Amino acid sequence: MQYASFGAPIDGGFMDPILGLRYTGFGLSGEWHLVAEGALQIPVTGRRELLSTGHANFGVQLSLQRRRQHHAWYLDLAGVYYAGADFPVPEGSRVIPTLILGYERRLGARTNLNLQGYVSQSVYSRRETDLDELRGGKYQLSAGVRHRTGNLLQNFNNTPDVGFQLGLAWVPARIRPALASHWR
């Protein structure tokens, strides 16, 4: 099967929502912390080309973290169940393991520098493509700055799909003390 698009393949739209849970209460000794996360992508409107496969996907992640006064290290192990897709190329379902190693340096009271290395398998196999570049492992190095302002958390970071991203997250006032204690 071959696919070619000589213009914008879609006019836009919303992608499927993702619901996630995070638990940080695992008690480890000293400066070590363990965080468990899970997420579910819910196909709300069925298959939409390049926006939704029409299938539910889910993932889990364990993060071992060591925090010091001005530094933090992270080792994340994750697995994502990808239910496959029909377009633009038919793909079967599979589990995709991922390893992430990160470093964070406090630059000021509200600003941190983040460095991250990422290794993952491809979602494509020889069934979908003969291109080694698409079937090969995925590797990424990224650097970013995170700055907290009141209830907003501002992120600048690289992603393999976008290249550069700006994200905002609202943090309720009752959670802000927990963010401040992160570096104590």
For CA atoms 130, 77, 20, 81, give the dihedral sign. Answer: positive
Mean local confidence (pLDDT), 104-119: 89
Whether 44 is covered by a domain: the verdict is yes
CB 17 within 8 A of CB 44: yes
pLDDT of residue 157: 39
In a domain, 94, yes or no: yes
178 found inside a domain: no
Q: For residue 54, give both structure tokens.
A: 């029409």
Rounded distance between C-alpha atoms, residue 114 and residue 147, angstroms: 11
Instruction: Provide the percentage of residues in the chain whose pLDDT is more than 90.
Output: 30
In a domain, 161, yes or no: no
pLDDT, tens only, 44-69: 877 777 778 889 999 999 999 998 88
Q: How many domains does the chain have?
A: 1
Q: Give the model's pLDDT for residue 35.
A: 92
Which residues, 6 or more positions from 28, have their beta carbon under 8 angstroms from its beta carbon? 34
Report pLDDT digits (tens) over 67-88.
Answer: 888 999 999 999 999 998 887 7
Question: Does residue 183 lie within any of the structural domains?
Answer: no
100 within 8 A of 74, measured Cβ to Cβ: yes
Least confident of 6-20, 60-74, 104-118, 136-150: 6-20
- Domain, as residue range, for 50: 18-149
Answer whether 0.95 is exceeded by the pTM.
no
With respect to residue 159, please indicate whether it lies within any of the assigned structural domains.
Answer: no
